[in-house]
Structure 1
């Protein structure tokens, strides 16, 4: 028996409004919409269907995580690390698109933000 080949195709984020959340990340990352339905949207860089991308699915009962989580809080299941050429300008752009700055900032060289659905993501200076 041969070992099957695996490849990551997408990270899926839940949201009560997948089109709205996809629109935020589309503008932030400058990616293209590959699939667009009421309950499911897929973004890929450069419109490349074979690239790893982000998908957004409708979750009617979406509860944004609390970051950092305390006892009994909805915990973050994952977060996205996004490289940017200029951290201050990247933070300003993300905020203008609808992100919120997280209250807790654990590092000076990273900005933790929350997307419009409340998912944490980190911006860091591209090296």
Structure 2
């Protein structure tokens, strides 16, 4: 297994782990928010999609054909875009209240970037040209 696939798998595992870690602390309502649990807010549970996309990405990383590699490029790009959206949505200030960002939020976007870099540098098998 080459280094790019290891980076993809490691990034996917870190994205899954980061969904369970604290993402924010909101002092005014005395709560800690994770990717899967956001009491007292309307953030929802974006960590579920992070986990689902990371699992699909890890499975596709083990397949050595060109089509799954191209599908993995889309899945990894969507995962990175989703984690970037979560980072922007969760870390914004609302009505003068700025939440304290925790390690899980930073780890999720860094891990998605590592996974995306691993996907981008994956070697593809040259197709056989006819003729």
**Larger of the two Rg values belongs to structure:** 2
Answer whether TM exceeds 0.5 for this pair: no
TM-score norm. by structure 1 comes to 0.31
**Greater share of helix:** 2
